[in-house]
């Protein structure tokens, strides 16, 4: 059993909806699961074994404002996260083309640069073809939870 913290980056609620859908699935697999949309530094998540980052994209490939303080702190301080594992779900919209899922991609890079090990492949959810992001995430989490 792992202690999993779901970190949510959202502007209009889709990422939170995905977190709310995945939390009971992970709990059902025997994990202790928390959800936060207010983490601002590594100190806010270091007590957990595994992170699941669920991050939307806004502006032009930008990280949502609620999780931007965390991204900026990790970039600036580069804490050693080599003992940590994380998964990532990026929400975006293909109609934005070059900036598709930019927020989640940036956070993925930041965690990797800090030495954290990604579990599984990044899920990228396209709002233009998938109006219900939790459905795609529910399918993806079946494979991801087996790797935790």
The residues binding ligand FMN (CB under 6 A) are 10-15, 56-61, 64, 91-93, 96, 99-102, 127, 133
Q: Where are the alpha helices (DSSP H) in the chain?
A: 14-28, 68-77, 102-113, 133-147
SS3 assignment, position 102:
helix
User: Tokens representing 60?
Assistant: 């032009």
Nearer to ligand FMN, 61 or 79 (CB): 61
Nearer to ligand FMN, 88 or 101 (CB): 101
Nearer to ligand FMN, 85 or 96 (CB): 96
Could you give the CA distance from residue 29 to residue 142 in angstroms, rounded to a whole number? 10
Shortest spacing between CB 130 and ligand FMN, in angstroms: 9
Shortest spacing between CB 75 and ligand FMN, in angstroms: 19
Q: How many helices (H) and strands (E) does the chain have?
A: 4, 6
Cα distances from 42 to residues 1, 51, 78, in angstroms, run: 22, 11, 9
Shortest spacing between CB 73 and ligand FMN, in angstroms: 21
Nearer to ligand FMN, 2 or 127 (CB): 127
Shortest spacing between CB 62 and ligand FMN, in angstroms: 7
């Amino acid at each position: 059993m792992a202690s999993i913290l779901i970190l949510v980056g959202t502007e209009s609620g889709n990422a939170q909806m995905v977190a709310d859908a995945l939390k009971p699935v992970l709990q059902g697999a025997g994990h202790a699961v928390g959800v936060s949309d207010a983490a601002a530094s590594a100190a806010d998540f270091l007590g957990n074994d595994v992170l699941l980052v669920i991050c939307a994209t806004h502006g032009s490939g930008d990280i949502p404002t609620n999780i931007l303080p965390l991204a900026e702190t990790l970039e600036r301080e580069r804490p050693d996260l080599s003992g940590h594992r994380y998964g990532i779900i990026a929400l975006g919209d293909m109609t934005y083309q070059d900036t598709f899922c930019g927020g989640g991609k940036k956070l993925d890079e930041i965690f990797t640069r800090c030495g954290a090990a990604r579990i599984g492949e990044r899920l990228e959810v396209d709002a233009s073809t998938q109006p219900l992001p939790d459905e795609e995430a529910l399918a993806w989490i079946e494979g991801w939870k087996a790797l935790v």
